[in-house]
Chains A and B, each alone.
Chain A
Amino acid sequence: DQQVKQNSPSLSVQEGRISILNCDYTNSMFDYFLWYKKYPAEGPTFLISISSIKDKNEDGRFTVFLNKSAKHLSLHIVPSQPGDSAVYFCAASANTDKLIFGTGTRLQVFP
């Protein structure tokens, strides 16, 4: 049972435009959400997180939005850059050590 889902396996965006990556979850006990970026042959790199008491968190070009009623979060990257091309994982936890990852979305930013 996949508790964290990323329904778009891939996304292609032009450089300078906005990239929007989406993530849905089913477990209402999740209270902490994160986004990771992964390049080939490297481990996931932490990008940004959000607690369930907030609905938005911003860090530079990256903004995460949380809609608890819809059990949905999204990552906005603006402006997108070619170096952002990677696989993006959302992850969630219920105040435990156990981080549940989504299946990932491959983002390609083209010139």
Chain B
Amino acid sequence: DTEVTQTPKHLVMGMTNKKSLKCEQHMGHRAMYWYKQKAKKPPELMFVYSYEKLSINESVPSRFSPECPNSSLLNLHLHALQPEDSALYLCASSQYRGNSPLHFGNGTRLTVT
């Protein structure tokens, strides 16, 4: 069982919808991440939060909006997505920033119609 929990597991949304992806960890980790993975490609970093503050935004379009309400929770708000945004969205956490292994959730499979 993964210690990083992501909900929902699957999400289908239209281009005009607003939805949110949720991520939770209870390992006391202080850094949390959103990654995006397309089929047959490696995961690509989107956002990093460290101590609940956004520390890295990898030039992600504004239709993706991250939020870190507290040290255990990470959300990704989605609005006006495009079909090419369909992908596996992975949340991860690590004990601290820098050289510390990331622990991933099982992801949310997003399909934009």
- Interface set of A (CB-CB < 8 Å, partner B): 31-32, 34, 36, 41-46, 49, 51, 89, 93, 95-99, 101-104
Interface of A is mostly: loop
Contact partner of A89 among B33, B42, B45, B97, CB < 8 A? B42
| Residue B69, interface by CB 8 Å | no
By Cβ-Cβ distance, the 7 closest A-B pairs, closest first, are A43-B104, A101-B42, A32-B99, A97-B48, A46-B101, A43-B106, A44-B104
Residues of the B chain whose Cβ atoms lie less than 8 Å from the Cβ of A101: 42-44
| Residue B105, interface by CB 8 Å | yes
- Interface set of B (CB-CB < 8 Å, partner A): 2, 4, 6, 31, 33, 41-45, 48, 50, 55-56, 58, 90, 92, 97-99, 101-107, 109
* A46:B102 contact, CB within 8 angstroms: yes
* A97:B97 contact, CB within 8 angstroms: yes
